[in-house]
Amino acid sequence: MEQHNISVGLDIGTTKIVAMIGRKNEYGKVEILGVGKSKSLGVHRGVVNNITQTIQSIQQAVQEAEAAASEKIEGVTVGIAGQHIRSLQHSDYITRTNSELVIDEADIDRLINQVHKLVMLPGEEIIHVLPQEFKVDGQAEITEPIGMYGGRLEANFHVVVGQVSSIRNIGRCVKSSDLELQGITLEPLASANAVLSQEEKEAGVALIDIGGGTTDLAVFKDGIIRHTAVIPFGGNVITEDIKEGCSIIEKQAELLKMKFGSAWPGENKDNEIVSIPGLRGRDPKEITLKNLSKIIHARVVEIIEQVYVEIKNYGHEEQKKKLIAGIVLTGGGSQLKHLKQLVEYITGMDTRIGYPNEHLAGGSDEEIASPLFATAVGLVMDGLKRQDRKMAEEAEEQIEAEVSTEEHEEVAKEEPKKERRSFLDKLTERVKDFLDNAE
């Protein structure tokens, strides 16, 4: 069984853990071979708070996926989210020693390396450094500086920061589940890859992924990610409110929300009533759908307004930064009835529900193309991309090794190869090293 052409995404969420196995078919689309899903017990608001339970849930999801695909899972790409994630804008520059040579990958890596030396708050670690646009000798708005001449190379960066301990805990859970951690990706980025089209990213779009414990936001414009945020509320707080407001147990509240819930109270007539069996020997409870919708509506408005504040922080109201493609909603919480209308009403932006079928192969299972699985599909795609890069690098090395025979050339070409690894790969390495040393 050749492991290299399949990739596994592991979405460790607050309500569910999904393991998804996929590979690229001959048309370059992603074919999902198997999915495993388990209830997530040790995660709160996107952060692991019970290692043992999380490991059990991961193993259960992985076994299910392995059985469905009859493949053995060895390595996984994991998504990271949670209330500890924050992002900031930063600009930095380097002065090149020899402006006779054109700018190459190594210069950009040097610049990115420099951003990585930023001083963070104690316990924080940089997860992604995403270049926005470059300036060469003061000439602005350059998207691809490689191949240009110039002495001073500067860039604006979008820097995503998270808590070291949370990242290590996730690494720990993966390792203890006998899996290899192949990569770490920010969840809003993974979801965005799965549900957004290139045109939308160019035109300007905000992706809102409403999960159980967190709501993730990723804003794109001109094909580049401009802003990310993780808001520590999601579908679970809505369930919680229904539970409190109607004095029923959580399981019933969740069912009510999914079956009868709506984000728009005007929808329901006053006389629509649901009867819920009482707890042992007690009378059944009667709840009007109007009240149910009012409870949901109040909380959803709060979540959407917080997200909208973040969209405004990015600068959506400036003419040049306008998000023409509006909003795309995904994640389990996006399946709430009439949510699209409510979001359009609050933000005044065009809205659609995002299904992760943008890159999936034709006959994919209906269920997989549900917004619930957006992050998992994105993580599988991310893993496949990482493999392509690795294969390309290996092929390059092969060619170079054949060409070069002398040792000093060997050394000279070893250097840039190390530099070019993406930062996430380095972060993954660091988490791996840390775990190996901790034992």
Backbone angles phi, psi at 180, to 5 degrees: -95, 135
203 lies in some domain = no
Which pLDDT belongs to residue 270?
76
Instruction: Report helix, strand or coil for 156.
Output: strand
Which pLDDT belongs to residue 410?
46
| Token output for 287 | 């709840």
Bridging pattern class, strands 351-353 and 327-330: parallel
Q: Is the dihedral of CA 57, 63, 65, 71 positive or negative?
A: positive
63 lies in some domain = no
Q: What is the spatial distance between Cα 13 and Cα 47, in angstroms, rounded to a whole number?
A: 9
Backbone angles phi, psi at 21, to 5 degrees: -105, 130
Which pLDDT belongs to residue 310?
92
Tell me the CA distances in angstroms from 432 to 26, 169, 383, 421, 425, one per residue in order: 33, 11, 17, 16, 10
pLDDT tens track, the chain, 439 positions: 344 588 999 999 999 999 999 998 888 889 999 999 999 989 988 889 999 999 999 999 999 999 999 889 889 999 988 888 888 889 999 999 988 899 998 899 999 999 988 888 888 988 888 898 999 999 988 989 999 999 999 999 999 999 999 999 999 999 999 999 998 888 999 999 999 999 999 999 999 999 999 999 999 999 999 999 999 999 999 999 999 999 999 999 999 999 999 999 887 677 889 998 888 888 888 999 999 999 999 999 999 999 999 999 888 888 888 999 999 999 999 999 999 999 999 999 999 999 998 888 877 778 888 999 999 999 999 999 988 888 888 888 888 888 875 555 444 444 444 444 566 677 777 777 777 776 5
Q: What is the spatial distance between Cα 369 and Cα 352, in angstroms, rounded to a whole number?
A: 15
Question: What's the structural domain count of the chain?
Answer: 1
207 lies in some domain = no
The C-alpha angle 58, 61, 62, rounded to 5 degrees, equals: 85
Which pLDDT belongs to residue 207?
96
E strand spans, 81-214: 86-95, 124-136, 139-142, 152-163, 180-186, 205-210
Which pLDDT belongs to residue 280?
85
Is residue 154 within 8 Å of residue 110, measured between CB atoms?
A: no
Backbone angles phi, psi at 210, to 5 degrees: -95, 105
415 lies in some domain = no
243 lies in some domain = yes
Query: At a CB cut-off of 8 Å and minimum separation 6, what does 16 contact?
Result: 37, 38, 39, 40, 212, 332, 372
Q: Which is nearest to 132 in space by CA: 87, 174, 164?
A: 87
Which pLDDT belongs to residue 351?
95
Q: What is the spatial distance between Cα 69 and Cα 96, in angstroms, rounded to a whole number?
A: 51
271 lies in some domain = yes
Instruction: Report helix, strand or coil for 287.
Output: strand
**Domain with 271 in it: what CATH number?**
3.30.420.40
Q: What is the spatial distance between Cα 205 and Cα 190, in angstroms, rounded to a whole number?
A: 15
215 lies in some domain = no
User: Range of 245's domain?
Assistant: 235-299
Which pLDDT belongs to residue 389?
85
Which pLDDT belongs to residue 11?
94
